[in-house]
Structure 1
Amino acid sequence: MAGKQCMTRLQKEYKSLLKDPVPHITAHPSPSNLLEWHFVLEGAKGTEYDGGVYHGKLVFPADYPFKPPSISLFTPNGRFATNTKLCLSMTDYHPESWNPMWSVGTILTGLLSFMYDTQATTGSITTSRAEKERLAAESLAFNAKNPTFRKLFPAWIEELTRRATAAAQPAPAQQAQAHAQAQQEQANGEVSGQANGHANGDVAAANGGGGIFGAARQGGGEQQNGQAGGRGGAPPGRGLGNSVVTLAVVVAVLAVVWVSSGSGGGGALWQSIFSQGAAAGGHAGPR
């Protein structure tokens, strides 16, 4: 049976842990036995124990703090064997190295530090990093099967539920990527629809415009054909106009000659030239 000094010391240490918790360590005495404490060690980030939750037990002697406790772990971890007393300087394996000034907080801090080391000791095992990481991922679910763990560490049971919920949902980065992909697909669909609409509109406009411009070209062709036909030969009546002008000039010249030579001779000459001019003009015009 534990002495009064032992009980007083353990009660004092428990109050101290509740007031000033040790990082990555939680410890509670068993409700039915103050000499038996259960603890949880959290694996540090960036190590092979990242995410691991390791449940173990401290058993104090009745004359604590003058003698050290024993330590064992229940959770598979890849560093220490389970349900086996560990040989450390602050355990009952080495009472000669025990310091009565050490407390539950310092004992568990030393255990966590030794866990990250690779030094071999009684109760230690050797496994790969991959094996330690696998065990760390499975540790909390393993602990949840233990009735004592569920009773003393309800916050970790809630954490297990939270992790299970988070694992069932896509990670934030995956959600962001899926959202961005959906937006890109929507944008591509809109661009494709607009491009097809514009292309169809352009084709329709081209077909309609082709009819209009085709008619214009056809009309223009007919007009050009008409002009070409007109240029192919002299316009009707152009030969007659030239003959009339020539005849008028000849008549004017003859009139001047007739006036200057006298009426008699001039009249005969006039009749002769007029008859020749009339005969030539008659051949130039239409028959």
Structure 2
Amino acid sequence: MATDLCTRRLTKELRALQKDPIKSPKITVQPNEANILEMHYVIEGSPDTAYAGGFYWGKLVFPKTYPLKPPSVMMMTPSGRFQPRRRLCLSMSDFHPETWNPMWSVSTILTGLYSFMLETAPTLGSIETTTSKKHALARQSLEFNVRDPVFCRLFPEYVELHKQRLEERQKALGIAEPIAPVTPSVDQPTVARPHAEGGDFQLVLTTAAGVVAVLFSIVVAMRFL
């Protein structure tokens, strides 16, 4: 259970973020409703960066003694910079309590995380990818996030944004309603079928060849009777 100091500090920081959100880059923060020690965030990639257009969801897990000790930091969304769902070794994370400053806050941690994200310096939990790979992951990030029920519960505004984008895409393509993907039934496995007339003709040839082979065997057998 969190200490009284920890609860008061995190509550105060949340109120400050709700009143004055982080705007550059835009970062949205929501606590786990059942556990104030778990803060979820979404960082929107800035223009003119490899992460432009991306929505990067992650979480901070605070110790019961915060702000005396730092939180663990992780990113859930694939970004091309960090390994998803892995604690990151940063100067303001629990990997380095010796460099932690109790004056730092949720806002400080998240802006620092994004600054490090824009760099190329390696650390435990980081990966190396091309700029084109990061661009591709940025385009896929929102769709990736909305597959997770936790994300959808905490950030309904982004779920609505994804829905609006899908509707706009369908409208541009002239699709009146979403088309549900067709998947084979488990009880009725897919069976390969011949292609159109060419497949039927091939089937006839195969059958005829089999009949000829049987007749030939009968003729040969009769010669030895």
TM tier relative to shorter chain: 0.7 to 0.9
2:155 — aligned with what? 153
What SS is found at the alignment partner of 2:92? Answer: coil
1:5 — aligned with what? 5
Cα offset, 1:166, TM superposition: 2.8
Share of identical aligned residues, percent?
51
What whole-Å deviation, never above 9, does each CA across 1:199-257 have from its counterpart, x for those lacking one?
A: xxxxxxxxxxxxxxxxxxxxxxxxxxxxxxxxxxxxxxxxxxxxxxxxxxxxxxxxxxx
2:14 — aligned with what? 14
Counterpart among 87, 90, 114 of residue 85 in structure 1: 87
Cα offset, 1:161, TM superposition: 1.4
Find the aligned partners of 1:48 and 1:63 in 2 and give their Cα distance: 36
Find the aligned partners of 1:79 and 1:168 in 2 and give their Cα distance: 31
What RMSD, in angstroms, separates the aligned Cα atoms of the two structures? 1.2
* Unmatched 5+ stretches in structure 1: 172-287
Higher RCO (CA < 8 A, seq sep 6+):
2
Find the aligned partners of 2:60 and 2:137 in 1 and give their Cα distance: 22
Q: Does 1:107 align with 2:109?
A: yes
1:54 — aligned with what? 56
Superposed, which structure 2 residues align to 1:17-32 within 5 Å?
Answer: 17-23=17-23, 24-32=26-34
Find the aligned partners of 2:49 and 2:12 in 1 and give their Cα distance: 33
What SS is found at the alignment partner of 1:107? Answer: helix
2:77 — aligned with what? 75
Count residues with an aligned counterpart.
171
1:217 — aligned with what? none
1:124 — aligned with what? 126
1:64 — aligned with what? 66
What SS is found at the alignment partner of 1:58? Answer: strand
Letter in 2 for 1:145: R
2:143 — aligned with what? 141
Superposed, which structure 2 residues align to 1:1-287 within 5 Å?
Answer: 1-23=1-23, 24-170=26-172
Letter in 2 for 1:137: R
Cα offset, 1:165, TM superposition: 2.5
* More helix as a share of residues: 1
Find the aligned partners of 1:26 and 1:3 in 2 and give their Cα distance: 25
Cα offset, 1:97, TM superposition: 0.6
What whole-Å deviation, never above 9, does each CA across 1:113-145 have from its counterpart, x for those lacking one?
A: 111111111100000111101100000000001
Find the aligned partners of 2:161 and 2:118 in 1 and give their Cα distance: 24
Structure 1 segments (4+ residues) deviating >6 Å: none
Find the aligned partners of 1:163 and 1:105 in 2 and give their Cα distance: 29
Of structures 1 and 2, the larger Rg is shown by 1
